[in-house]
Structures are given as structure tokens and as C-alpha cells.
Amino acid sequence: DHDYYLNTDADNFRYDERHVIKEKEPLLNKQESYRDQEGNVGWILTSKLPLHNIEDEVVGVVGIGHDITKQKDDERERQRLEKQLWHAQKMETIRTLAGRPAHDFNNLLMGIQGHTSLIETEIDANHPFREHLKAIEQCVMSASHLNSQLLGFAREGKYEVISIVLNELIDDTAEMFGRTRKELRILKEFETDLWVIEADGSQIEQVLINLFINAWQAMGESDSKDIYLKTENVLLDKAY
């Protein structure tokens, strides 16, 4: 044994052999790890049986060993792949569950923000509830940010790039935002033959909503409540 294996492993094998001789019982199908003289790790499946002389005395051990290193490696690889597949399936399920209500939740947030805005238009600027309404709007914005992260997680950080008619997306998003801000007037000047773009619709929609919110928040009490939207085809070269 010491000629083929490291001393520690060889000593373990010798211990099993002495045990077989002492107990006069076979040791069957034991899996044992080993390291060869170069330190490479392997596995063997061994069976050791007591060797009897004609007087039925145990005088030695007959051992049979089968190297199962490849089978063990294959089994570990199979288990690794199964674990990887299970994890991927679990994450896909979580992403599906996370992504499904995210868009609806965003619409609910816009509804909350819209009703808050309507209440603000009906109360005096010094009304004690105005601070609470501002706090609600801040919570809505925070929730919207978290919802965007949830959508990103549902897509595993990947964009869903599709062909988008930008005029339609801007118009739909503006209409949705306008319903939550009754005091606003949204004026549109759209290019009639606007080029189709390749982009992630949810990302562009979120950008537009943020722009609308920033524009609305920047308006003073005495300012006009107009938002101007314009689209046009523009080529941006290196000089630009």
C-alpha cells in the first residue's frame, strides 16, 4: 500500500485489513478516498475477506479494489448540475412571481399619487395636512423606485429590447400621468414620421415618468401648469 498511496491513506487501509483478520469477518463494498504519491485524490470501492488455511485459521486477507474515481467525479458533476438547475428553476419562479404584479403595482402607485394631487388642489397652502400629503408623495416615489428594482430583478438585470413607436409610448405615458395631475396641461408636438427605435419599453417609460414628475415638482405656485412634449428625428454625430 505504501508503494502506491500516501502514508496516511496506506495506514488506513492496513487498519481495515487488521480489523478483518481480528474479527474474521469480511469488509464488503467500502468506498475509500485516497491520494497517490503525486497527491491526486481518487476513490476506490474495496472488499476485503479473511484468508483461511486448511486448519481454518485466518492467515491473511484477500482484497479486491475497483477504482471508482471517474464514477464519483461524474456523480459530483451530476449533483452540481442538478443543484444548479434547481437553483435556476427556483429563481425563475421567484422572478415570474415578482414580475407579474409589478406593472399593476406601478399603476396603483400612480393612482395614489393622483388622488393625493387632487386633495392638494382643494386645500389651502397652509393647511396642516399638506405636509402629510407631501410625505405620501415621497413614499410613492420611494415605492416606485423599489418597484423598478423589482422589475429589474424579474428580468435578471436584462433589458427586453423591442421595436418601439416612441410617439405612442410617450402619448400613453403622458395620458397616464395627466390623469394623476388634473391641474396640468400637456401640449404635444410629435414628428409624424418618427423613426422606430430599439429599446426597453419599461425603461423608457420610467424615464418619461421621472421627467414628468421632475417637471411638475419644479413648477411654482404662480407658474403655468403646462408641459411641452416634442419629438423629432435627429442625427447625433461626433461633433455633437
Verdict on whether the full-model pTM lies above 0.85: no
Residues 167-184 have pLDDT tens digits of: 999 998 888 888 777 788
**Hunting for cell 477504482 — which residue is that?**
67
Three-state DSSP at 44 gives strand
pLDDT at 8: 60
pLDDT given for residue 2 in this prediction: 45
Return contacts of 158-162, CB within 8 angstroms, 24+ apart.
Answer: 159/199, 159/200, 159/203, 160/200, 160/201, 160/202, 161/198, 161/199, 161/200, 162/198, 162/199, 162/200, 162/201
In the predicted model, residues of the chain with pLDDT beneath 50 are 1-3
Q: Give the model confidence (pLDDT) of 139-150 as tens digits.
A: 887 787 777 766
Q: Give the per-residue pLDDT at 66.
A: 81
Which residues does residue 64 pair with via DSSP β-bridges, in sequence order?
Answer: 47
pLDDT for 170 equals 93
